[in-house]
Structure 1
Amino acid sequence: MSCGGNALEIASKMSNMGVEMLAFTLAVSGWILISSTIPTDYWKVSSIDGTVITTATFWSNLWKTCVTDSTGVSNCKDFPSMLALEGYIQVCRGLMIAAVCLGFFGSILALVGMKCTKIGGSDKTKARIACLAGIHFILGGLSSVTACSLYAHRITSEFFDPTYIAQKYELGAALFIGWAGSALCILGGIALCFSMAGNGTSKRAGYTYSGAASFISSRTKVQNTAADVRSARGNGNPPKHFDKNAYV
């Protein structure tokens, strides 16, 4: 029985460790994708075809707007000061930077809280740290998906607005990368939190079982001893199984 319990406990720990490693891989991969979207050029893109071969590609991101001609030469213009920026660009910048910071701290906490590492203290403490890392990843993914969705909503609303006469853009590759990274971060964070659900269950169950068995056996022994004493007193004979120091 003890060998079976130990085997089940080892198998449970190995399973939880595998889930933690998978969750950490997903979350860190998502964080890397989110970080790569910030310097990516094509958050929104539009092209204008000329009459013969001249083609101009307009694109923009969170930091600048550019135009590239058919020869591959790009002319860019950085956005003005932050106070002169449009509100949605400022919000997207803040959310993406927050997502990168949350993912960074989540990665450090996950390394400390995982069972395959030698730091972090007891299993209970490491479980709390790993769950906190999962929360960081989830919040980072939500921040990134909010920024990408806000930027995409602005593009689509301008594109389908018949009264909008300025240059119209379409969704760029950076938005899709950001959405994918956000999904990986959220999934990895949830997996990190739920991988701690079964920790310590087998130990508590084994302790309760042995305690109950010990209590029952002790109670039975006391009852049997009391019955022997009463029987001996009634017959006038000394009780069995006791020596002269039994009542001292």
Structure 2
Amino acid sequence: MTSSMFQEIFAFILSTLGWVLVSSTLPTDYWKVSSLDGTVITTATYWSNLWKTCVTDSTGVSNCKDFASMLALDGYIQACRGLMIAAICLGFFGSISALVGMKCTKIGGNDKNKARIACFAGGNFILSGLCSLSACSLYAHRITTEFFDPMYIAQKYELGAALFIGWSGSVLCILGGSMLCCSITASFPKSQSQVNYIYNGAVSHSHISSYPRGQAKSANQRPPPDYSSSSRTQHFDKNAYV
């Protein structure tokens, strides 16, 4: 019981830390940064995220432009927005459910109900990590495809710091959620019928194995009556007292 409680606490810390990293990824500026490959003199640095695109000149002054229309965006940016928002919402509900379902808290009902709630929280954290992982991977795939395409002549970009933060948070969410789901096994002991079945099977096996090979005694066969003098005397004495 104590080990599973510590496992739940450690899983909750991992999952919450991963959710915080995933949440901090969404407003981070540097999802992609202009590449310096083949450039001798750099006069400006281009960078963008899911909400805006910016340029920073050599003096450090930045000029940004928000994406005006959501429907006019590329499909991968819209998909990344939706996946990241879903990841943040799932992680939020997972954190609340984990607080209710852990054994160290006083709310949530009995152990079985708390175990179900903890399993639900672990599933939310796993889904949150998968959504964030998919969004960061999709965005990175677009960057690398344009970078290695020889026919692409526009500005090429490299992976920004936000993608690495998102990947790290996704891994922590998946690990913490998996540990949270595995920690509930101690709350569901073996049923009494299964224990009785194993016990009866062991008794019947030992009873049959006590006979020599080829002379195993049937379960319904009764032993032959003993007509010795001692048994008749005992039977007579018993009836005499009645």
Q: What is the Cα deviation at residue 238 of structure 1?
A: 2.8
Q: Distance in 1 between matches of 2:161 and 2:85?
A: 19
- The 8 Å contact of residues 135 and 193 in structure 1, kept in 2 or not, is answered as yes
* 2:226 is the alignment partner of 1:238: no
* 2:55 is the alignment partner of 1:67: yes
Deviations 1:206-230 (A, max 9, x none): x958xx79xx9xxxxxxxxxxxxx9
Q: Distance in 2 between matches of 1:73 and 1:176?
A: 26
| Superposed CA RMSD | 2.3
* 2:64 is the alignment partner of 1:76: yes
- The 8 Å contact of residues 232 and 238 in structure 1, kept in 2 or not, is answered as no
Give the match for residue 15 of structure 1: 3
* 2:135 is the alignment partner of 1:133: no
Q: What is the Cα deviation at residue 233 of structure 1?
A: 5.6
From the superposition, tell whether residues 71 and 50 of structure 1 become closer, same or farther in structure 2 (CA, over 3 Å).
farther
Which consecutive residues of structure 1, in runs of 5 or more, have no partner in the other structure?
1-12, 217-229, 240-248
From the superposition, tell whether residues 163 and 47 of structure 1 become closer, same or farther in structure 2 (CA, over 3 Å).
closer
Alignment-mate amino acid for residue 18 of structure 2 = G
Q: Distance in 2 between matches of 1:115 and 1:35?
A: 27
Alignment-mate amino acid for residue 133 of structure 1 = A
Deviations 1:160-215 (A, max 9, x none): 0010011000000000000000000000000000001122427x57x958xx79xx
- The 8 Å contact of residues 47 and 55 in structure 1, kept in 2 or not, is answered as no
Give the match for residue 7 of structure 1: none
Equivalent position SS for 2:174: helix
User: Which TM-score applies when normalising by structure 1?
Assistant: 0.77
Of 108, 116, 128, the match for 2:104: 116
How many residues were matched structurally?
Answer: 206
Q: Distance in 2 between matches of 1:30 and 1:100?
A: 10
Q: Distance in 1 between matches of 2:233 and 2:135?
A: 85
Q: Distance in 2 between matches of 1:238 and 1:17?
A: 64
Alignment-mate amino acid for residue 241 of structure 2 = P
Give the match for residue 158 of structure 1: 146
Alignment-mate amino acid for residue 17 of structure 1 = M
Give the match for residue 222 of structure 2: none
Which consecutive residues of structure 2, in runs of 5 or more, have no partner in the other structure?
204-231
- The 8 Å contact of residues 42 and 60 in structure 1, kept in 2 or not, is answered as yes
Q: Distance in 2 between matches of 1:73 and 1:159?
A: 26
User: Which TM-score applies when normalising by structure 2?
Assistant: 0.79
Identity %: 69
